């Protein structure tokens, strides 16, 4: 009666986090394997052939972004979700360019991971809700602070991460830019009626 569970590879150098997330995703209907570095991830991807992957941006000294094309080459249909402790539009854009399907900031819960992995697919994993409806575009414009954050990230990417050059292009003092970058981006939640 139940179809074959979707296969998920979790790649994170934090073995405890990987184990906890693996248990949580297993309870949500996934068949899960973990890897703690890029070498293990390549081997598991070749052997396990997962349809999904949760990939940490930082893998010790390695960068998870570099691993995305290799994982996609091993399993072209794999949907990759990149996780990072440092949210930035620039990193998200780069992850998507390299083949990731989505991007989430840590800390993250298993429900958010499952939603991100399965979004846009008719999935065999039951979420308990009918997801056939296409979400509407937000009616309210993005908050000004969010737009500013995204613009800063775009210019920072164009400057290859050079803070001084980014500050010059934005016409702001370097320390002001650093303060803005240190703040978390504004969440894109619809505003409640006050």
Inside any domain, residue 123: no
Cα separation of 33 and 67, whole Å? 17
Which string of DSSP letters, residue by residue, matches 45-72? HHHH--SEEEEESEETTEEHHHHHHHHH
The pLDDT score that the predictor gives to residue 127 is 36
Total domain count for the chain?
2
**CATH assignment of the domain containing 46:** 3.40.50.2300
pLDDT digits (tens, 9 = 90+) for 13-22: 999 999 999 9
Largest CA distance in the chain: 63
Note whether 152 and 104 are same-domain residues: no
- The parent domain of residue 177 ranges over 144-182
* Position 85 pLDDT exceeds 80: no
**CATH assignment of the domain containing 171:** 1.10.10.60
pLDDT digits (tens, 9 = 90+) for 118-167: 875 543 333 333 333 333 333 444 455 666 777 787 788 888 888 899 88
Q: Mean pLDDT, the chain, as a whole number? A: 79
pLDDT digits (tens, 9 = 90+) for 99-121: 888 888 878 888 989 988 987 55
Q: 184: pLDDT confidence band, cut at 50, 70 and 90?
A: low
The owner of tokens 């894109």 is 188
């Amino acid at each position: 009666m139940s179809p074959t569970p979707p296969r998920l590879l979790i790649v994170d150098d934090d073995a405890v986090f990987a184990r906890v997330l693996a248990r949580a995703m297993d309870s949500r209907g996934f068949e899960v394997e973990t890897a703690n570095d890029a070498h293990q991830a390549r081997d598991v991807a070749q052997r396990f052939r997962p349809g999904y992957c949760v990939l940490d941006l930082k893998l010790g000294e390695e960068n998870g972004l570099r691993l995305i094309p290799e994982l996609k080459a091993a399993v072209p249909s794999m949907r990759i979700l990149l996780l990072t402790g440092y949210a930035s539009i620039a990193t998200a854009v780069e992850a998507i360019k390299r083949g990731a399907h989505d991007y989430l900031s840590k800390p993250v819960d298993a429900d958010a991971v499952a939603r991100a992995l399965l979004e846009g697919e008719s999935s065999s994993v039951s979420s308990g809700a009918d997801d056939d409806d296409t979400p509407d575009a937000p009616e309210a414009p993005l908050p000004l602070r969010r737009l500013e954050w995204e613009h800063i990230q775009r210019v920072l990417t164009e400057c290859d991460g050079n803070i001084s050059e980014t500050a010059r292009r934005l016409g702001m003092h370097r320390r002001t830019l650093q303060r803005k970058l240190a703040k978390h981006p504004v969440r894109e939640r619809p505003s409640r009626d006050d």
